[in-house]
Amino acid sequence: MPGRAKAYVKSYGCQMNVYDATRMAELLAKRGYDEAADEDEADLVVLNTCHIREKATEKVYSELGRLARLKAERGAEGRDYKIVVAGCVAQAEGEEVLRRQRAVDLVVGPQSYHRLSDLLTRAEAGERVTDTDFAVEDKFRALRRAAAEGKRVRDVAAFVTAQEGCDKFCSFCVVPYTRGAEVSRKASEIVEEAEALAGAGVRELTVIGQNVNAYRGAGEDGALWSLPRLLARLARIEGVTRLRYTTSHPIDMTEELIDAHAALPTLAPFVHLPVQSGSNRILKAMNRRHDASFYLDIVARLRAARPDIALSSDFIVGFPGETDADFEATLALIRQVGFASTFSFKYSPRPGTPGAERDDQIAEEVKSERLAALQALVEEQRQAFNAATVGRTVEILFEKPGRHAGQIAGKSPYMQAVHAMGGEELIGKTLPVTIVAAGSNSLAGRIVGQTTPDDAREAAL
């Protein structure tokens, strides 16, 4: 008797895509698909795509070429093999995807994936389907139903979406075109989903959105709630021991949100706050709506509210018109702030954005040189931050078995990977851990009360 069909969801890009990929996997499981380990084992593959950079888009088309060959092989064996393209490439280039790769059966945008089951029914009937409507409210209602039915939970940390889309229209960014305008979920729906996750064993919740600190959702009391009001409500959920939020825009970093870092013990002392550039001239050209001094003032106020807070950021080098002086201003800002971690990229022109239409694009070799210099500086800061953790005792949420026998791994409040000796029964618990050593990519810790510091050091590094 043949086994059940298997599906594989492969996700690229941001936390929102990770969240969406999990929801699509749940929808496929309800439809009768078991989970495949990879594309080769699957009968249906979903590529959940990212359109933020050109390389990411071309990687999708390269992957589609490989899947098309696999589909042809399966067809020769008399087996069915379905290919679905989801996410932001699907939203931006839906018909182009179908034109460029005939093997694709279904293209579904990020605001339409809640209709995945119905769309697959049409694809299975032989129709090549595209659905890229901006039906965000419909999607949110579908998420509420999914929360009520219960989610598959494997990890002790999970994302919950609060807001989608962006109204900022930064001149380098495609998000307003692929995710649409800012829309916030009702607080009651978010709380319902978070309670279901906590009941299933999740201990750390990350509230996500393209511009999450712009959250303005209908509250449980009928008033319009801000992100800090929502965080305060989520902090009351039994079982939730740590809260995070991402990604934020500086102009929506309100005093109320800054104060929340002092008022809510559950809120991690870590903020990802993209600045993109330290040059006021480039920030204006990017349409960021703030300058460097505005950003630095936010950093100062965050540190005043929570002295142990750490920051991460995003940087784009080689934006059109960026001079050596502009780039040096970015390095100066990095030196002044001191980041625990960063994400940095060469500017990639995205079709339809104002930046792509400028005639003062920066040469690729210049972008590469600048990126290397910036990454060397931020890596130096990252290593210094990790080294400064040695000797401190911090709360670690243990998430999974470690690389070695008898070892468990978790995350610090600052998103650092930490390894310590301990049994798997400690997974899901938040425990005080003394950091005994720092490696290149992780920290070695000793659970307070543990009597084997040498074992912890050797196993973790």
| β-strand pairing of 44-49 with 270-272 | unpaired
What is the predicted pLDDT for the residue at 15?
75
pLDDT digits (tens, 9 = 90+) for 301-312: 999 999 999 999
Strands (E), 140-196: 157-161, 163-164, 183-184
| 3 vs 238: which has the higher pLDDT | 238
- What tens digit of pLDDT does each residue of 163-216 get? 988 999 999 988 887 778 898 999 999 999 999 999 999 999 999 998 999 999
Task: Please give the DSSP secondary-structure letter assigned to residue 156.
Answer: S
Instruction: Look up the pTM and report it.
Output: 0.80
Q: Is residue 342, in this structure, part of any structural domain at all?
A: no
Query: How many whole angstroms separate alpha carbon 88 and alpha carbon 50?
Result: 5
Query: Beta partners for 311?
Result: 271
Do 71 and 43 lie in one domain? The reply is yes
Domain boundary among 113, 133, 153: 133
Do 125 and 168 fall within a single domain?
no
In the predicted model, what is the mean pLDDT of residues 252-274?
A: 97
Q: Which long-range contacts (CB under 8 A, 24 or more apart) does 40-44 make?
A: 40/70, 41/6, 41/8, 42/6, 42/7, 42/8, 42/81, 43/5, 43/6, 43/7, 43/79, 43/80, 43/81, 43/82, 44/5, 44/6, 44/7, 44/8, 44/81, 44/82, 44/83, 44/84, 44/120
Does 345 map to a domain?
Answer: no
Is 302 within a domain?
Answer: no
316, β-bridge pairs: 345
Nearest CA to 9 among 87, 61, 99, 68?
87
| 195 and 245 fall within a common domain | yes
Statement to judge: residues 219 and 190 lie in one domain: yes
d(C-alpha 354, C-alpha 344), whole Å: 21
Tokens 């070429």 -> residue: 65
Residue 221 in domain: yes
Residue 360 domain flag: no
> Within this chain, do residues 100 and 15 fall inside the same structural domain, yes or no?
yes
pLDDT at 142: 63
Q: Is residue 248 part of a domain?
A: yes
pLDDT tens digit sequence for 288-300: 999 999 999 999 9
Within a domain: 224: yes
Task: Give the tens place of pLDDT for each residue, 56-78.
Answer: 778 888 899 999 999 999 999 98
What is the arithmetic mean of pLDDT over 228-235? 98
Q: Determine contact, residues 266/240, Cβ cutoff 8 Å.
A: yes
What does each C-alpha distance from 398 to 307, 409, 436, 442 come to in angstroms? 25, 6, 17, 14
Contact yes or no for 420/453 (Cβ under 8 A): no
pLDDT at residue 151 is higher than 70: no
157 shares a domain with 214: yes
Q: Which residue has the tokens 């209602």?
A: 141
Q: What is the pLDDT of residue 69?
A: 93
CATH (domain of 394): 2.40.50.140
Looking up residue 41, the CATH number of its domain turns out to be: 3.40.50.12160
Residues 181 and 111 in one domain: no
Q: How far apart are CA 355 and CA 5, in angstroms?
A: 45
If asked whether residues 109 and 198 sit together in one domain, one would say no
CA gap 162, 165 in Å, rounded: 11
Looking at residue 152, its pLDDT comes to 55
Domain boundary among 133, 149, 181: 133
Helix (H, G, I), strand (E, B) or coil at 302: helix
Average pLDDT over residues 115-133: 86
Same domain, 85 and 156: no
Question: Residue 179 maps to which CATH number?
Answer: 3.30.750.210
In terms of C-beta density within 10 A (0-12 exposed, 13-18 middle, 19 or more buried), how is residue 76 classed? exposed
- What residues make up the domain containing 127? 6-133
In a domain, 91, yes or no: yes
Strand pairing report for 34-35 and 44-49:
unpaired
List, for residues 375-384, the tens digit of each pLDDT value.
Answer: 999 999 999 9
Chain centre distance of CA 55: 18
Question: Which of 134-148, 150-164, 241-255 holds the top average pLDDT?
Answer: 241-255
Residue 139 has pLDDT above 80, yes or no: no
For residue 1, the model assigns a pLDDT of 33
CA angle 166, 170, 174 (to 5 degrees): 65
Domain count, the chain: 3
Same domain, 148 and 225: yes
pLDDT of residue 318: 97
User: In this prediction, what percent of the chain has a pLDDT beyond 90?
Assistant: 67
243 pLDDT more than 90: yes
Could you give the dihedral angle defined by the CA atoms of residues 15, 18, 20 and 22, in that order, rounded to the nearest 10 degrees? -140
What are 420's two structure tokens? 């310590």
Assess whether pLDDT exceeds 90 at residue 116: no
Q: How far, in Å, CA of 313 to CA of 182, rounded?
A: 21
Q: What pLDDT shows up at residue 115?
A: 84
- Do residues 429 and 451 both lie within one domain? yes
How crowded is residue 311: how many other Cβ atoms within 10 Å of its Cβ?
22
Do 179 and 59 lie in one domain? The reply is no
Last residue of a domain, one of 222, 253, 268: 268
